[in-house]
């Protein structure tokens, strides 16, 4: 038996036990009517499955909490030895030569 949990702003919420914790399920109509409160719950870390005619069609999940920072290219730029003219000058000269 699936427990029914009362929820503020929603008629009723069915809880299914998935993975490590619980995931709430909400019909598409209820999601349209209560999107703001659902997004607040997702921002707090909860996962919510959206159902159409009793079948899961989408999930609202919180974003990944850790963002990977790209490495600094400062050291790489110091060891690169640029020689010759800038590429923009080479391109401009090539275009002039093609015209005449």
Q: What confidence tens digit (pLDDT) does each residue in 30-59 have? A: 999 999 999 999 999 899 999 999 999 999
The pLDDT of residue 16: 44
Q: What is the C-alpha separation between 67 and 71, in angstroms, rounded?
A: 13
- Round to whole Å and give the CA distance between 49 and 18: 11
Q: What pLDDT sits at residue 99?
A: 77
CATH: 1.20.1300, 3.10.20, 3.40.50, 3.40.1620. Which one for 4-60?
3.40.1620
| Confidence at residue 78, expressed as pLDDT on a 0 to 100 scale | 86
Q: Which of 39, 42, 48 is nearest to 13 (CA)?
A: 48
pLDDT < 70 positions in the chain: 1-22, 100
**Using alpha carbons only, what angle is made at residue 23 by residues 39 and 25, rounded to the nearest 5 degrees?**
70
Q: What is the pLDDT of residue 82?
A: 81
Beta bridge partners, 26, equal 50
């Amino acid at each position: 038996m699936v427990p029914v949990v009362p929820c503020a702003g929603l008629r009723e919420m069915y809880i299914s036990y998935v993975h490590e914790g619980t995931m709430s399920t909400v019909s598409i109509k209820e999601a349209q009517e209560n999107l703001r409160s659902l997004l607040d719950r997702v921002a707090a870390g909860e996962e919510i499955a959206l159902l159409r005619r009793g079948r899961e069609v989408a999930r609202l999940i919180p974003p990944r909490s850790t963002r990977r920072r790209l490495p600094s290219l400062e050291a790489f730029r110091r060891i690169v030895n640029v020689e010759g003219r800038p590429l923009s000058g080479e391109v401009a000269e090539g275009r002039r030569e093609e015209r005449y």
